[in-house]
Structure 1
Amino acid sequence: MKAIVKTTAAPGVEFVEDHPEPTVGPRDVLLHVGAVSICGTDREMYEWTPSAVAFNLDLPVVLGHEVSGTVIEVGSDVSRLAVGDRVALETHIPCEQCFMCRTGNGHNCLNMKIIAMHADGAFAERVAVPENICFPLPEGMPLEVGALLEPAGVAWHALQRADLDVAGHSVLVSGCGPVGLLIVQFALHLGATEVIAVEPNPYRRGWAEKLGATVFEPGPGVVEYVEEHYAHRSGVDVAFEVSAAAAAYPTIFESVRREGTIVTIGHPGTPVPVDIAKYINKNGITLRGTFGRRLWDTWEDLVEVLTRGGVDISWLITHRFPLGDLGPAIDLLTGDANKVLILPNGPVDGAATVGGAETVAATAH
């Protein structure tokens, strides 16, 4: 089968047209891959940055982890899924035996393996995965939207880490890539009084503004705006750091009010100095990290919001590519694009690729 493989600890990937078929173990299912969304982590792997090196990949490995597909074969011990089921994948493979797994924190398993890092991912026509990382898609949810559930789950988990405490409160979002834009959308849906979005890319600022955010480029104007409009509260209530830029933190700490909350999502490539005495002790700011999605309450709550709450995230898809050279699709991640899909087996859900790629009309409703 065809697959995109990270073969060596160096920049680049290989497009392999005769990659071996996946082996289906007793507790595995084999998926006919529907759609795979490209993540910023895929770019890190492609470019082989220090962040990519830190993940300690088991090479060679097929990349691609934001996945939806249809079950076409089940292992002998599989009991929950059947051929024909449509699923999305949780990226994290918990051991189900360690302290974290036994105490309801399997998303932070002590023996964690990650799809497309320590087990083959889904930039391929087919992929075999453990049954326990498959999330059945609700009836009527398109496979393309299913491929967005993993990154949308990151956004929803960030809101969970803030105790969903945004209704009637002001929110700052630093970084408006796909996850940041989803946090903007979800926060406004949950009743935030204002979302301030900070983003250097004009295209992404435009999307944040369409969603209803007050937008700024990074710089002193952010703190000045907060000081002018939120002096009575000493700052905004909640901030989400999604950009992974260490330089964003001074603005965030100066913008969040006393007894406010900061949730970090992006992984900075360098250590971030924090004035513990000033911000954490004296100002009482709560700093919380987030990693992936909680299993499975993040997924269940997110799908409830999408299906019963009327929240549409399909607007996030701006480009589609067939399986092949990953370079042109990766290049879009820093340009005028939101979510870029790879369709390993051709179009799904009636979507079409045009000349290898398509930009689709999108609305922010």
Structure 2
Amino acid sequence: MEAIIKNRPGHGAEFIKDLSEPIVGKRDVLIEVAAASVCGTDRELYEWTPSAQAFNLELPVVIGHEVSGTVLEVGSDVTTIAPGDRVALESHVPCLDCYQCRIGNAHNCLNMRILGMHVNGGFAQRTAVPESIVVKLPESVSLEVGSLMESAGVALTALARSGFAGVGGVVVVSGCGPVGLVAIQLSMLFGASHVIAIEPNPYRRAIAESLGAQVLDPSDDVVDYVRTVSGRRGGADVAFEVSAAPSALPTLLEAVRREGDVVTIGHPGSKIPIDIAAYINKKGITLRGVFGRRLWSTWEDLSHLLASGRLDLSWLITHRLNLRDFDHAIELLTGEANKVVLFPNGVLSDNQ
């Protein structure tokens, strides 16, 4: 079986043709992988950055955590999934027994394992995963789009974490990769009066502008622009930090209004100092973080939005590649590309 393996610490990953077939346990589901989207985190794993090392991978491991496919086989104790089901995969594998899982916070499980890091992931022709992370796709949602739901769910969770503070208000999105772009799309859909996007890459700025955002380069006077647009509010109602750039968070803390919200999504590679007295105490800003999606409400809400036709994600895909082209996929992420999707069993036809 063909797969992309991270065998050892250090730069790179290996394409192999002879990986053993997955073993299907009693509570596992065997998936024929249809599409697996390449994430910025996959690039971090490939380059073996400090951010990647902080995940404490269990090597060797098949990487890839944004996955869709068709069920081939289920274990004897599986009750909710059947062969033939079209599915997407949640990337966080909760234990379902710890304190956080028991109180409804399985997305922040105390014993969390992550697909493609601690459990073999989706850059392979087939993968076996726990039933608990398998999500049935609505009939109208293609398998291609199914592979985008994991990352899109991060954006939806970020908006929810802010209490949808941008409804009728001013939203700032720092970083216009796929998650940032979906955050812009959702903010527009949910009724923001202004969405201001900050992005150094001209290609991605153009996409953000096409979605209806007002676009800035980080070198622009972001704070002055946001305060001008927001008028008597004195700043943005909510800002989403998706870039992971160390310089981004201080700018956002200045740009949001008093009693506003800042939600961080990107994982910076180094520690960032915060002036607690100035921003948290005196300005009353609420600072929240996002790691993945809320299980399972994010998936339910995102599925309904996609099935309704009000949300489309297919436009995110700019490149469709075979599994053996993984090195090229990593290169594309730094250039004029948005979502790069790998197809371990061949590129899908239009109706899939």
What's the TM-score once normalised by structure 1's chain length? 0.95
Amino acid at match of 2:23: T
Give CA deviations for 1:147-176 in whole Å, capped at 9, x if unaligned. Answer: 000000000000010112221110000000
1:343 aligns with 2:322: no
Q: CA deviation at 1:227?
A: 2.8
Q: Which residue of 1 aligns with 2:66?
A: 66
Question: 1:28-47 counterparts in 2 under 5 A?
Answer: 28-47=28-47
Q: Which residue of 2 aligns with 1:315?
A: 315
Q: CA deviation at 1:25?
A: 0.3
Q: Which residue of 2 aligns with 1:55?
A: 55
Give CA deviations for 1:211-239 in whole Å, capped at 9, x if unaligned. Answer: 00000000242112123233411111000
Amino acid at match of 2:269: G
Distance 1:331 1:176 in 2: 17
Amino acid at match of 1:210: S
Give the secondary structure class of the aligned counterpart of 2:232.
coil
Q: CA deviation at 1:9?
A: 0.5
Q: Which residue of 1 aligns with 2:16?
A: 16
Distance 1:339 1:94 in 2: 27
Distance 1:248 1:165 in 2: 20
Give the secondary structure class of the aligned counterpart of 1:68.
strand
Distance 2:12 2:143 in 1: 28
Distance 2:341 2:215 in 1: 27
Q: Which residue of 1 aligns with 2:304?
A: 304
Percent identity of equivalent pairs: 61
Distance 2:224 2:337 in 1: 30
Residues paired across the two proteins, number = 352
Moved over 3 A (4+): none
Question: 1:1-365 counterparts in 2 under 5 A?
Answer: 1-308=1-308, 310-350=310-350
C-alpha RMSD over aligned residues: 1.1
Distance 1:248 1:229 in 2: 19
Give the secondary structure class of the aligned counterpart of 1:155.
helix
Amino acid at match of 1:264: T
Give CA deviations for 1:118-158 in whole Å, capped at 9, x if unaligned. Answer: 01011110000001100000012100000000000000000
Q: CA deviation at 1:326?
A: 1.4
Distance 1:145 1:230 in 2: 35
Q: CA deviation at 1:280?
A: 0.6
Q: 1:351 to 1:202 in 2, by over 3 A?
A: farther
Alpha-carbon contact 1:144-1:349 (below 8 Å) kept: no
Amino acid at match of 1:135: V
Distance 1:130 1:234 in 2: 48
Give CA deviations for 1:168-211 in whole Å, capped at 9, x if unaligned. Answer: 11000000000000000000000000000000000000000000
Q: CA deviation at 1:299?
A: 0.6
Q: 1:256 to 1:243 in 2, by over 3 A?
A: same
Alpha-carbon contact 2:180-2:242 (below 8 Å) kept: yes
Q: Which residue of 2 aligns with 1:356?
A: none
What's the TM-score once normalised by structure 2's chain length? 0.98
Gaps of 5+ in 1: 353-365
